[in-house]
Amino acid sequence: MTPQTLHFAGKEFVVIERTEYERLARSKGAADEHGLPALPGPDADGNVPAVAYGRALLARKLILARRRAGLSQAELARRAKIRAETLNRLEKGRHNPDEKTFNKIEAALKAAGVRV
């Protein structure tokens, strides 16, 4: 199937079915209207994937805490003495931190006057 395209104001847009758009909007890595990772929705049986949900929830909490502290990802990573790439993966909900990494981030945020 060839996608249908529209041209408007010098840009090309692809037309897709609403159900496909909604599936893509819910897909891993999608963000909500506040730029926070979306929480995974339930499957047909009403079950939510626990690991994905936990990662997204932690990511959202980290982002909000970092924003409250007024820190960039790079600055929080520097203060926590972790790689910026590590913090980025955590904030995107791609990985779970080990206890040592989480404690470093928590300490850096606490020093900035913010709780996770």
112 CB contacts (<8 Å, ≥6 apart)? Answer: 69, 70, 71, 79
Domains of the chain, earliest start first: 4-111 (1.10.260.40)
Closest CA to 72 of 88, 48, 49, 50: 88
Average pLDDT value for residue range 6-31: 79
Strands (E), 1-116: 4-8, 11-15
In the predicted model, is pLDDT for residue 79 greater than 90? yes
| Per-residue model confidence as pLDDT tens digits over 34-58 | 789 989 989 999 999 999 999 999 9
In the numeric block, which tokens belong to residue 28?
């891993």
Average pLDDT value for residue range 1-21: 86
The model's pTM is: 0.72
